[in-house]
């Protein structure tokens, strides 16, 4: 067993090394999130999360568990229960109504620098005799409270795996079956915290953070999911049509260990193993609806992919859809604008 593990490890290392050498774009946080550095918000007001999935009772967990991760990123986070009490005293308790309040009005009341909107857009549950899992997907949108403009956008995925521990073998299987029967529950608080935590970590640090402003030069390495060639932005078929299945495809890359885990979605290679159920997600920010593709990064509302060390912006329809073309079995997007990254791989 040890030997096999070792072999697996070697193979994996080789895979990772070649994978990295081929197509990684290095981008500094300053280049990836320029608007955050331009506006430098100090305080964040988190509005009630919006749930576009069929799960009923998980929504509130997401709002209550994000205070700590945001504060640990160095931001002042308005005390959520006091904010709730304030809205209640103004006879506004419906979460949707609160989200419809114009940013200008929120600025007046709270004097917040930025408003965070959280959308829950994936909620998949799976059961087997021995296990249960819950997968959750979030979109974050941080809006500058003075201008109403979006300054940061991010997706996050997390999952819970409960039940059989994959490493325990047959004895473990029998023991776990008994344990699992007694307790298949997922702790939504832990799941929501995990997702919020990984999502918040991507946000450049705020004024109370140790790396405030210094993290501007921090480099992020992202595996390219596209290739720029002859003025066209090529992606593989998976990018366009996923696994070509009509039904929902739940996340499948999991550690078969009990617990709560998260991974960011902007690495297509990880996401590839999973399929996805919605190509586009709808976000509603400050009363406006946005249709967004999961795999793209957005700047000023315009979608781009990192490719060959450049930000490649693509053509978008008015409703937010991104049309693609097919040519000899190859898929590409129409390029609108190319911005060179200053950060170059230093290898």
Partner 1 sequence: MQLKHIFLSLSVSLLLVGCANAPQPPLYSWGDYVKSSTKYGMDGHNKEVLEQHSAELKKIIDESDMNKQKVAPGIYAEYGQILFETGKKEDAKQYFLLEKKTYPESEKFINQIMKKLYGEA
As a whole number of angstroms, the distance between CA 131 and CA 185 comes to 10
Asked if residue 174 binds partner 1 (CB under 8 A), the reply is no
Asked if residue 171 binds partner 1 (CB under 8 A), the reply is no
Asked if residue 147 binds partner 1 (CB under 8 A), the reply is no
Asked if residue 6 binds partner 1 (CB under 8 A), the reply is no
Backbone angles phi and psi of 282, in degrees to 5:
-100, 130
Contact 48, 99 (CB under 8 A): yes
Asked if residue 89 binds partner 1 (CB under 8 A), the reply is yes
Contact 216, 30 (CB under 8 A): yes
Asked if residue 79 binds partner 1 (CB under 8 A), the reply is yes
Asked if residue 280 binds partner 1 (CB under 8 A), the reply is no
Question: How many residues make contact with partner 1 (CB under 8 A)?
Answer: 55
| Of 75-83, 150-158, 231-239, 310-318: span binding partner 1 (CB under 8 A) | 75-83
180-199: contacts with partner 1 (CB under 8 A): 189, 192-193
| Of 4-12, 131-139, 232-240, 327-335: span binding partner 1 (CB under 8 A) | 4-12
103-122: contacts with partner 1 (CB under 8 A): 109-113
| Of 80-88, 134-142, 224-232, 330-338: span binding partner 1 (CB under 8 A) | 80-88
As a whole number of angstroms, the distance between CA 301 and CA 134 comes to 30
CA distances from 216 to 159, 206, 219, 313, 325 (A): 30, 11, 8, 22, 36
CA distances from 124 to 82, 147, 166 (A): 32, 36, 21
As a whole number of angstroms, the distance between CA 102 and CA 138 comes to 23
- Name beta bridge partners: 160: 134, 260
As a whole number of angstroms, the distance between CA 5 and CA 180 comes to 27
Find the binder of partner 1 among 267, 321, 337, 344 (CB under 8 A). Answer: 267
C-beta closer to partner 1: residue 173 or 335: 173
As a whole number of angstroms, the distance between CA 134 and CA 161 comes to 7
Considering the complex, what minimum distance in angstroms separates the CB of residue 60 from partner 1? 6
Q: DSSP alpha helices (H): ranges in 210-347? A: 237-241, 268-272
As a whole number of angstroms, the distance between CA 250 and CA 199 comes to 20
Using the 8-state DSSP alphabet, how is residue 105 labeled?
H
Q: Coil, helix or strand for 252? A: coil
| Of 25-33, 83-91, 280-288, 306-314: span binding partner 1 (CB under 8 A) | 83-91
Find the binder of partner 1 among 67, 133, 283, 286 (CB under 8 A). Answer: 67
Find the binder of partner 1 among 18, 22, 56, 81 (CB under 8 A). Answer: 81
Considering the complex, what minimum distance in angstroms separates the CB of residue 43 from partner 1? 4
Using the 8-state DSSP alphabet, how is residue 256 labeled?
S
Residues contributing to the site for partner 1 (CB under 8 A): 4-5, 8-9, 12, 16, 42-43, 60-61, 63-65, 67-68, 71-72, 74-82, 84-86, 89, 109-113, 166-167, 189, 192-193, 208-210, 218, 253-257, 261, 263-264, 267, 270, 273
């Amino acid at each position: 067993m040890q030997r096999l593990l070792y072999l697996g490890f070697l193979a994996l290392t080789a895979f990772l090394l070649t994978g990295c050498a081929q197509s990684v774009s290095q981008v500094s946080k300053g280049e990836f999130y320029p608007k955050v550095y331009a506006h430098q918000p100090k305080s964040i007001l988190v509005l009630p999360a919006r749930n576009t999935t069929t799960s009923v009772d998980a929504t509130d967990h997401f709002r209550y568990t994000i205070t700590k991760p945001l504060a640990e990123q160095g931001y002042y986070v308005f005390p959520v229960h006091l904010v709730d009490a304030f809205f209640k005293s103004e006879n506004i308790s419906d979460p949707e109504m609160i989200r419809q309040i114009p940013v200008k009005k929120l600025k007046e009341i709270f004097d917040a620098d930025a408003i965070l909107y959280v959308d829950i857009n994936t909620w998949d549950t799976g059961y087997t005799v021995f296990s249960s899992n819950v997968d959750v997907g979030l979109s974050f949108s941080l809006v500058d409270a003075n201008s109403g403009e979006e300054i940061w956008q991010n997706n996050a995925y997390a999952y819970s795996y409960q039940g059989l521990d994959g490493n325990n073998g047959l004895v473990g299987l029998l023991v776990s079956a008994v344990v699992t029967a007694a307790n298949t529950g997922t702790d939504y608080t832990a799941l929501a915290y995990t997702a919020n935590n990984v999502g918040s970590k991507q946000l450049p640090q705020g004024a109370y953070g140790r790396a405030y402003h210094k993290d501007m030069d921090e480099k992020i390495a992202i595996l390219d999911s596209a290739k720029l060639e002859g003025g066209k932005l090529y992606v593989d078929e998976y990018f366009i049509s996923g696994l070509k299945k009509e039904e929902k495809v739940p996340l499948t890359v999991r550690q078969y260990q009990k617990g709560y885990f998260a991974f960011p979605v902007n690495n297509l290679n990880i996401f590839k193993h999973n399929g996805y159920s919605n190509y586009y997600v709808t976000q509603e920010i400050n009363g406006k609806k946005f249709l967004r593709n999961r795999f793209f990064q957005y700047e000023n509302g315009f979608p781009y992919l990192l490719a060959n060390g450049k930000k490649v912006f693509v053509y978008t329809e008015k409703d937010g859809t991104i049309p693609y073309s097919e040519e000899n079995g190859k898929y590409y997007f129409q390029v609108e604008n190319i911005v060179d990254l200053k950060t170059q791989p230093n290898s």
